[in-house]
Amino acid sequence: MPRLSYRKALNRALADELARDEEVFLLGEDIRVAASNVTAGLLKRFGPERVRDTPLSEQAFTSFATGAALAGARPVVEFQIPSLLFLVFEQIVNHAHKFPLMTGGQCAVPVTYLVPGSGSRTGWAGQHSDHPYSLFAHVGVTTVVPATPADAYGLLVSAIRCDDPVVVFAPAGAMEVRADVDVASLQPVPLGRGVVRRPGDDVTVVAVGHLVHDALAVADDLADQVSVEVFDPRTLYPFDWDGLLASVSRTGRLVVVDDSNRSCGIAGEVIATVVERVRLDAPPRRVTRPDGAVLPFAPALDRAVQPGREHLRSAIQHVMKDG
């Protein structure tokens, strides 16, 4: 079976949707030459009207996409650095997200914001290493963080077809993941539905994005001591609460590993929702970046503030001991 890379899966999703629907078009910085490699080959195939390089003007082209969507188009905006989302938070949250309600249902804003390489790309330092998905979940913008090539394809396709704005975070830590996937079998993956990546009985580990792979590795390492279930939510907003609650109700223990800052992060929301609904056997734990983290440059410092396998292993052992 061919090996499909996560990056190629994103590329294929864009190509398939551009081919399927004339209203889909791409815009972003340096996408003609495919600086992130995600748009490789698309200019040649679809032309500059559908694959539009933009000047460095994130706020205007993000709202340009909103306007195009109001007129019936389905823009996909690529941001090559996650921190650019801070620049356009206003345009996404205050306009794209609010227009349908504020107009009393007169419009839809089907824009996809694609962020390949979100999170730390070791050595890119403070302003290129954020992973701001929790902000979008907080304001209620549909937020997806695929972990695998098949999900990268399927969730991006669903995002483009969704009538609401959707932010697709493709973690830097997942971009080089490859999997044995029959390309012909690739399917849209529904938004808002998580998946159990590894069944287990003792503890549910909720892992976001690339951390799914770390969670699976840790679960394997601990297999002779603990039976770990790994739950990949895939979509952070809307979150698959039913799927998660079913898992935690069985295991009775919860650990969340999430590559965003601790305060008001998605990990806190996962824990709060679970403890509102399930009586756990042990206090839950979360493994995150520190409060207010800014990623330092030096590789050892960069790694020091990211949630790692050792932290996760320790958290799992704690919840087993505590309960």
Residues forming the site for another protein (CB under 8 A): 49, 54-55, 57, 59-73, 75, 90-91, 94-95, 99-110, 140, 142, 162-164, 192, 238
- β-pairing, 254-261 vs 203-207, is parallel
Residue 70 vs 212, nearer CB to another protein = 70
Between 62 and 260, CB nearer to another protein: 62
Type of residue numbered 81: I
The C-alpha atoms of residue 8 and residue 37 are separated, in whole angstroms, by 8
Contacts (Cβ under 8 Å, ≥6 apart) of 19: 46
Pick the closer one to another protein by CB: 95 or 131.
Answer: 95
Question: What's the Rg (C-alpha) of the chain?
Answer: 19
CB of 222 to another protein, least distance (A): 33
Active site annotation includes 97? no
Closest by CA position to 133, among listed 142, 121, 125: 142
CB of 67 to another protein, least distance (A): 3
- Compute the distance between CA of residue 75 and CA of residue 92 in angstroms, rounded to an integer: 13
The nearer residue to another protein, 192 or 284, going by C-beta atoms, is 192
Rounded least distance, CB 59 to another protein, Å: 4
Q: How far is the CB of 133 from another protein (least distance, A)?
A: 17
What contacts 229, CB < 8 A, 6 or more positions away?
A: 196, 198, 199, 200, 201, 202, 203, 204, 205, 247, 250, 251
Which residues 6+ apart lie within 8 Å of 286 measured at CB?
255, 256, 257, 258, 262, 265, 267, 268, 270, 271, 315
Angle subtended at Cα 148 by Cα 10 and Cα 117, rounded to the nearest 5 degrees: 55
Q: How far is the CB of 182 from another protein (least distance, A)?
A: 29
Q: Where are the alpha helices (DSSP H) in 199-252?
A: 211-221, 241-251
Question: Which of 201/242 has CB closer to another protein?
Answer: 242
CA gap 199, 270 in Å, rounded: 19
Catalytic one of 95, 97, 128, 210: 128
Nearest to another protein of 87, 196 (CB atom): 87
Smallest distance from the beta carbon of 181 to another protein, in angstroms? 27
| Geometric angle at alpha carbon 147, from 139 and 91, rounded to 5° | 30
Task: Write out the catalytic residue numbers.
Answer: 128
